[in-house]
Amino acid sequence: MSAEKELKQRLALVLHDLKESGTEDGEAMFFLGNFATRICDKAGKVGWTDVKKNLTQVDYDLLLKEFETQGNRLYQEGNLKAAYAVQALALSLIAHTQGDQHIRSGAALLDIVIDAAIGNFRKHAKPKAN
């Protein structure tokens, strides 16, 4: 199977899962919002789509490697919802670089979910004590 076809399948599965029940899973959405918010804050950007638009190739490669390492660790530890959130971010990141219109359309839908998770996380997370 080609890498593009595998990406399409993974993206389609995540989007299907989100449509069916994923966005209703508060814990998974918390992890998604938490992870994405930390990346946005570190990059000095408000939303996930802004982060992706402004990544250098070096930053892209580092972030993708971090997703791979963190996602594998979380999965091995049995923290499946957190690993799922990392997978969604990684798929969105990779899909942004693809020329295929179906992949880019799917990524745009995923980005809407990610940006909404960021908004919810920022709205409901307890502020850090100074």
- pTM, two decimals, is 0.90
Q: Would the pLDDT of 80 be above 70? A: yes
Angle at 127 between CA 123 and CA 130, to 5 degrees: 160
Round to whole Å and give the CA distance between 28 and 17: 11
| Mean pLDDT of the chain, nearest integer | 91
Q: Report how far residue 70's alpha carbon sits from residue 20's, in angstroms, rounded to the nearest whole number.
A: 26
Mean pLDDT of 38-66: 95
Of all residues in the chain, the percent with pLDDT exceeding 90 is: 72
Give 93's Cβ-side CA count (13 Å radius). 23
Q: Inform me whether the pLDDT recorded for 130 exceeds 70.
A: no
Q: 70: Cβ–Cβ under 8 A, 6 or more apart, which residues?
A: 86
Assess contact for 28 and 120: CB atoms under 8 A: no
Q: Where are the domains of the chain?
A: 3-14+25-124
Q: What is the DSSP letter of 125?
A: S
Q: What is the pLDDT of residue 82?
A: 96
Q: What whole-number distance in Å separates Cα of residue 28 and Cα of residue 80?
A: 9
Mean pLDDT of 32-40: 97
pLDDT tens digits for range 104-126: 999 999 999 999 999 999 998 87
Q: How confident is the model at residue 22 (pLDDT cuts 50, 70, 90)?
A: low
